[in-house]
Amino acid sequence: MNSVIAAVSHTTFKEVLQRMFPKVWPLKELSDQWWFVLAAIGTVAIVSYIYRENVMFRIAEHVLIGVAFGYSFTVMYFNVGQNNFVNPVFKEGDLWPIVPAVLGLMAVLRIVPKLSWVSRYPMAMLIGLSMGMALPRSLQSTVFAQVYGTTRIDFTGSISQGWPWGVLAVVGGAVLIVGTLSALMYFYFSMEHRGFVGGTAKVGIIFLMIGFGASFGYTVQARISLFAARVLFILRDWLGIIT
Amino acid sequence: MLAKLLQDSRTIYTVILIVIIIPFMVTLKLPIPVPPPVRSVFNAVEESHERKQPIIISFDFDPSVAGECAPMAKAMVRHAFATKTPVIGLTFLINGANLAQSILDQTAKEFNEREPGSIVYGKDYVWLGWKPQYDQVLVAMGHDIKRAFRTDSENRSLNDMPIFKGVTNFDDIGLSTSIAGSAIPEDWIAYTMQYKARLAVGTTAVSATQYFPYMQAGQIVGVIPGATGAAAYERLLVDNKYWPEYGDAGAMANTQSATHIVIILFIIIGNVVYFIRKSQRQ
């Protein structure tokens, strides 16, 4: 819901509409206040869902979906279609962009039942390329580098930073090693969780719970921040109650 | 009646709304600590300035998380402009394209109003716009940034811009920063870690815990976690006299603290009531 609240951003609306209708609708001449009012009404309409679902919320929700689609299409055309295809091919005479354009059209043929098989070729190419690029790099960054990071904790270097961050870094390093090993033990199912293995797994559960708690705390902080930003917008930018 | 009121979730929403509004009204200044991950990002921008290398800021967020990500993006752009560190801006999230561009343009306008002509497009900053399939774009940028994008978002050739003088790929960049509310920074880490450019992440508080392990492993130099991280960055700007006042994140800092205290109280009260009822049932 926060995404809906914040997406009713006056800047985005204004710039997209200006770009789509530069001659028909000279929006640059309109005062910013109108956009503040529009954005504020959108925010209040979406937040009203907290009380109960109502017509204003539904209208704002549908407006958002429509605007998001129109906005995406516009950005897609100007940033990709125009800059990467129309201008190079028709203005500069560079014919190479025709190749990816044809592949793109082949992908779109998926919506034609009799020709949908054509879309498999560009999709196969895309998936193959992405897999080939992602696999070694993801392994490197999320597995090997992480294992290396867990084994090279600089205790002496950290302690030299002094109180509080240096000492906390040392404690954090020790916690990291114990936490990683015990949490891994919890997910090791080839041995019965009894004795030493069971005890270590229980320690792992504690670490997992602390991790979930930290994530929850950050989640609360994030949601409050998003809501506070909209309240700040209404109080300062729209109503002018605070400076 | 009172019990019914307390059990209604709308009561909690009302209390939260009041607690959010009041700190905006009072001039209470709670301390804003600067954690090392945020200071590291700040230092990395300073070092890029000393090396005379541009920084890349990838505005990988959309309006849904602008409340958290926009203040940190704005703080970083202000820092870069104040130190005359060139900024190459881009986004991999389509719905954030204009939002990001407006942050760059408005910040440039702020600086030019203070000192006319101090920030010049093409020399001090550039907006490359949005590109789809960001994994492939990152690989292409690793070879040649100018070939990966060819033009800026307004179809101006990158070859003619002074900001790209001496810049080929990530090896010539002082710092790459992905500010996102999604997992896009993970791809930045995966695809750029073999280059000399250091990488930093600005993220929503929800995603913050996801990126600290990368910092611990030395894959990124720092993390700006949520609005509190942005407030810490704003404090560094104020302390170093790069900008005279706090931005939106600083304005929200008191609200954050007050709301967190109330939520902690709610959790404590909820648990106390739970245990009282449990003992009564027994």
Per-residue pLDDT reduced to its tens digit, B54-80: 999 999 999 889 999 999 999 999 999
Residue of B nearest to A131 (CA): B135
The per-residue pLDDT for A7 is 46
pLDDT band of residue A116 (cuts 50, 70, 90) is: very high
Interchain contact, B248 vs A232, CB within 8 Å: yes
Summary mean pLDDT of chain B: 92
The per-residue pLDDT for A166 is 78
Please name the helix (run of DSSP H) or strand (run of DSSP E) that holds residue A152, with its range, or none. none
Residues 143-202 of B with CB under 8 A from A: 150-151, 153, 155, 186, 189-191, 193
Distances (CA, A) of A43 to A39, A48, A52, A54, A67: 6, 9, 15, 14, 15
Burial class (CB in 10 A: 0-12, 13-18, 19+), A76: middle
pLDDT band of residue A5 (cuts 50, 70, 90) is: very low
Interchain contact, B204 vs A146, CB within 8 Å: no
Interchain contact, A9 vs B66, CB within 8 Å: yes
State whether CATH 3.40.50 applies to domain B31-251: yes
Residue A24 reports pLDDT greater than 90? no
Nearest chain B CA: its distance from A133 CA (Å): 8
Residue A14 reports pLDDT greater than 60? no
pTM, full prediction: 0.84
Residue A1 reports pLDDT greater than 50? no
pLDDT band of residue A121 (cuts 50, 70, 90) is: very high
Residue of A nearest to B193 (CA): A141
Average pLDDT over residues B100-118: 94
Burial class (CB in 10 A: 0-12, 13-18, 19+), B126: buried
Instruction: Name chain A contacts of B13, Cβ cutoff 8 Å.
Output: 50
The per-residue pLDDT for B165 is 92
Interchain contact, A3 vs B65, CB within 8 Å: yes
Residue of B nearest to A4 (CA): B64
Closest CA to A41 of A222, A239, A195, A221: A239
Instruction: Name chain B contacts of A143, Cβ cutoff 8 Å.
Output: none
* Phi/psi at A164 (5° precision): -95, -25
pLDDT band of residue B52 (cuts 50, 70, 90) is: very high
The ipTM value here is 0.85
Interchain contact, A87 vs B155, CB within 8 Å: yes
Residue-wise DSSP of B121-161: BTTTEEEEEE-S-HHHHHHHHHH-HHHHHSB-TT--BGGG-
The per-residue pLDDT for B234 is 96
pLDDT band of residue A10 (cuts 50, 70, 90) is: very low
Q: Give domain limits for chain B.
A: 31-251
The beta-carbon neighbor of B24 closest among A211, A219, A235 is: A235
The beta-carbon neighbor of B25 closest among A71, A79, A242 is: A242
Contact of B140 with chain A, judged by CB distance below 8 Å, is answered with: no
Q: Tokens at residue B194, please?
A: 């073999």
Contact of B33 with chain A, judged by CB distance below 8 Å, is answered with: no
Average pLDDT over residues B12-20: 91
- Among B26, B43, B64, the residue to mutate for chain A (most A Cβ within 10 A): B64
